[in-house]
Structure 1
Amino acid sequence: MPAKNQASEESAFKNWINEDLVKRTAHHIQFHYPTFASKEFIKVSHELPALELKPRMRLICDFLKTHLPSDYKKALAILMKAATEPSPKMKPLAGFDLWAFTEFVQRYGLEDFDESVAALKELTSRFTGEFAIRPFLIKEEKRTLKVLHQWAKDPNHHVRRLVSEGSRPRLPWGEQLKHFIKDPAQTIELLEKLKYDEELYVRKSVANHLNDISKDHPKLAVQVASKWLKEAPEKHKVKIKWIVKHALRTLLKKGDKDALKLLGFENLAKVEIQNFKLAKKEVKVGDSLEFAFDLKSPKDCQVMIDYLVHHQKNNGETAPKVFKLAIKNLKAKEALALKKKHSFKPITTRTYYPGTHFIEIMVNGVLLAKAKFELKTK
Structure 2
Amino acid sequence: MTKTAPDAAPLLKEIFNRARLEHFANETTAIHPGFDGERFLTLASDGLDNLSIMQRLRQIAVSFHATLPGPYEKNIEIIWALAPRINHGFASITLPEYVALYGHDDFDLSMRALAYFTRFGSSEFAIRHFLQKDQARTLEVMETWSRDDNEHVRRLASEGCRPRLPWSFQLKPLIADPSPVAKILENLRSDPAHYVRKSVANHLNDITKDHPDWVLQKIAGWDQTNAHSAWIIRQALRTLIKKGDARALHVLGAGHKAEVKVNNFSVTPSELKLGGAVKIAAQLISTATSPQKLVVDYAVHYVKKAGGTSNKVFKWKEITLDAGVDLELSISRAIRDFTTRVHYPGRHAVELIVNGEVLAEGAFEILA
Whether the TM-score (by the shorter chain) exceeds 0.5 is: yes
Q: Determine helix, strand or coil for the equivalent of 2:223.
A: helix
Q: 2:133 aligns with which of 106, 124, 139?
A: 139
Contact 1:157/1:199, CA 8 A, preserved across alignment: yes
Q: Determine helix, strand or coil for the equivalent of 1:227.
A: coil
User: Does residue 344 in structure 1 map to residue 335 in structure 2?
Assistant: yes
Contact 2:261/2:287, CA 8 A, preserved across alignment: no
2:307 maps to amino acid? G
Output the CA distance in 1 between the equivalents of 2:274 and 2:339: 13
Match for residue 208 of structure 2?
A: 214
Q: Determine helix, strand or coil for the equivalent of 2:45.
A: helix
* Greater mean deviation of Cα atoms: 141-150 or 194-203: 194-203
Question: Any stretches of 5+ residues in structure 1 without a counterpart?
Answer: 1-9, 87-91
Residue 361 of structure 1, CA deviation: 0.8
Match for residue 5 of structure 1?
A: none
Q: Determine helix, strand or coil for the equivalent of 1:360.
A: strand
Q: Determine helix, strand or coil for the equivalent of 2:253.
A: coil
Match for residue 290 of structure 1?
A: 279
Match for residue 7 of structure 1?
A: none
Output the CA distance in 1 between the equivalents of 2:80 and 2:182: 32
Residue 305 of structure 1, CA deviation: 1.0
1:18 maps to amino acid? N
Output the CA distance in 1 between the equivalents of 2:327 and 2:28: 63
Output the CA distance in 2 between the equivalents of 1:137 and 1:99: 18
Match for residue 223 of structure 1?
A: 217
Match for residue 28 of structure 2?
A: 29
User: Does residue 363 in structure 1 map to residue 357 in structure 2?
Assistant: no
1:283 maps to amino acid? L
User: Does residue 108 in structure 1 map to residue 99 in structure 2?
Assistant: no
Q: Determine helix, strand or coil for the equivalent of 1:228.
A: coil
Deviation string 1:26-50 (CA, Å, 9 cap, x unpaired) is: 1222233333221121123363233
Contact 1:295/1:337, CA 8 A, preserved across alignment: yes
Contact 2:247/2:255, CA 8 A, preserved across alignment: no
Deviation string 1:307-334 (CA, Å, 9 cap, x unpaired) is: 1111111111101111122223334445
1:1-378 alignment to 2 at 5 Å? 12-43=11-42, 44-45=44-45, 47-69=47-69, 71-84=71-84, 86=85, 92-229=86-223, 237-268=226-257, 270-299=259-288, 300-377=291-368
CA RMSD, aligned part only?
2.1
2:104 maps to amino acid? L
Question: Any stretches of 5+ residues in structure 2 without a counterpart?
Answer: 1-8
Contact 1:285/1:376, CA 8 A, preserved across alignment: yes
1:259 maps to amino acid? A
Residue 65 of structure 1, CA deviation: 2.2
Residue 138 of structure 1, CA deviation: 1.5
Q: Determine helix, strand or coil for the equivalent of 1:66.
A: helix
Deviation string 1:35-82 (CA, Å, 9 cap, x unpaired) is: 322112112336323322112112212222222235333332222232
Residue 365 of structure 1, CA deviation: 0.8
Residue 228 of structure 1, CA deviation: 0.9
Residue 270 of structure 1, CA deviation: 4.8
Q: Judging changes above 3 Å, is the alpha-carbon distance between structure 1 residues 194 and 269 closer, same or farther for their aligned structure 2 residues?
A: closer
2:81 maps to amino acid? K
Give the TM-score normalised by structure 2.
0.90
Output the CA distance in 1 between the equivalents of 2:350 and 2:120: 44
Contact 1:11/1:52, CA 8 A, preserved across alignment: no
2:220 maps to amino acid? S
Match for residue 3 of structure 1?
A: none
Deviation string 1:177-223 (CA, Å, 9 cap, x unpaired) is: 11111111111111111223232222222222111111111121112
Q: How many residues align?
A: 357
Q: Determine helix, strand or coil for the equivalent of 1:308.
A: strand
Output the CA distance in 2 between the equivalents of 1:338 and 1:355: 26
1:273 maps to amino acid? V
1:207 maps to amino acid? A
1:318 maps to amino acid? T
Q: Judging changes above 3 Å, is the alpha-carbon distance between structure 1 residues 80 and 220 closer, same or farther for their aligned structure 2 residues?
A: same
Deviation string 1:92-139 (CA, Å, 9 cap, x unpaired) is: 444122222111111121222112111111111111111111111111
